[in-house]
Amino acid sequence: MTEINEFLKQRDEDVRWNLRTPVEIIDSDIFPDLDDLLLEKRRWVRIRDVVAVAVDLKNSTMLDFRRQARTSTRLYEAVIGNCVAITKNFQADFVDIQGDGLFALYYGDRAQERAMAASITLKTFSQRSIVPRIGEVMDERFPKTGLKTGMSAGVLVVKKVGKRNNNEPV
């Protein structure tokens, strides 16, 4: 128990330091190369007019990986790979896969139009391909699914966060 208490005390000190130590924010017109986002520096990059498209597999929490592992994993591969292809088709500037979903960032020339076209295409893909194909292959006990999509636009700040050998852009 002493070890965990000491560990939590260190986390508390880290929180205190981070909340009191200033950061530098650099404005940019382009999304930075991920290699340029330094973990060790308290430097964030701010990009204006970024549009995010988010996609998530509806009712995925209802998938039972004990009984439906093969079916569910086939669904994940069919859905996520095609969602990446769709977002890239509309020149997404950044794509990140998170479990059974992803988000794509668009900025620069015609960012809103490209993002809107990607979002509409994702929803159309869900209605024309995912839902009907699932109906052909899965039985009626398989959860009703498809894609949930959303968009948001605004200012984005980005930096690598985490610990060395275990960090991601945030």
Q: Tell me: pLDDT of 146 over 90.
A: no
Q: Is 142 left (phi over 0), alpha (psi -120 to 50) or beta?
A: beta
In this prediction, residue 130 carries a pLDDT of 82
Q: How confident is the model at residue 50 (pLDDT cuts 50, 70, 90)?
A: very high
CA–CA separation, 109 and 167 (whole Å): 30
Which pLDDT does position 66 carry in this prediction?
63
| Residue whose token pair is 């039972």 | 64
Q: Name the residue among 61, 66, 106 with its Cα closest to residue 86.
A: 106
Q: What average pLDDT does range 66-94 have in this prediction?
A: 84
| 127-141 pLDDT tens trace | 898 888 877 876 676
C-alpha to C-alpha distances, 6 to 1, 9, 16, 113, nearest whole angstrom? 9, 5, 15, 51
Average pLDDT over residues 114-133: 92
Q: What pLDDT does 143 receive?
A: 64
Residue 25 host element (H or E):
strand 24-28
Question: Closest Cα partner for 26 from 153, 155, 167, 157?
Answer: 157
| Residue 45 predicted with pLDDT over 70 | yes
Tokens matching residue 115:
């993002």
Half-sphere exposure of residue 66, counting CA atoms within 13 Å on the CB side? Answer: 0
β-bridge partners, 51? 106, 153
- What is residue 62's predicted lDDT score, i.e. its pLDDT? 59
pLDDT at residue 88 in the model: 96
Region 129-157: what's the mean pLDDT?
Answer: 81
Domains, the chain, in order of start with CATH, read: 24-169 (3.30.70.1230)
Summarize the confidence of residues 95-100 as an average pLDDT. Answer: 87
Instruction: Decide if pLDDT at 17 tops 90.
Output: yes
Alpha-carbon span 167 to 170, nearest angstrom: 9
How are beta strands 24-28 and 43-57 bridged, if at all?
parallel
Instruction: Tell me the H-state helices in 46-159.
Output: 69-89, 111-125, 131-137
Average pLDDT over the chain, rounded to an integer: 85
What pTM was estimated for this model as a whole? 0.82
State the pLDDT confidence band at 73, using cuts at 50, 70 and 90.
Answer: confident
SS3 call for 1: coil
* 3-state DSSP assignment of residue 63: coil
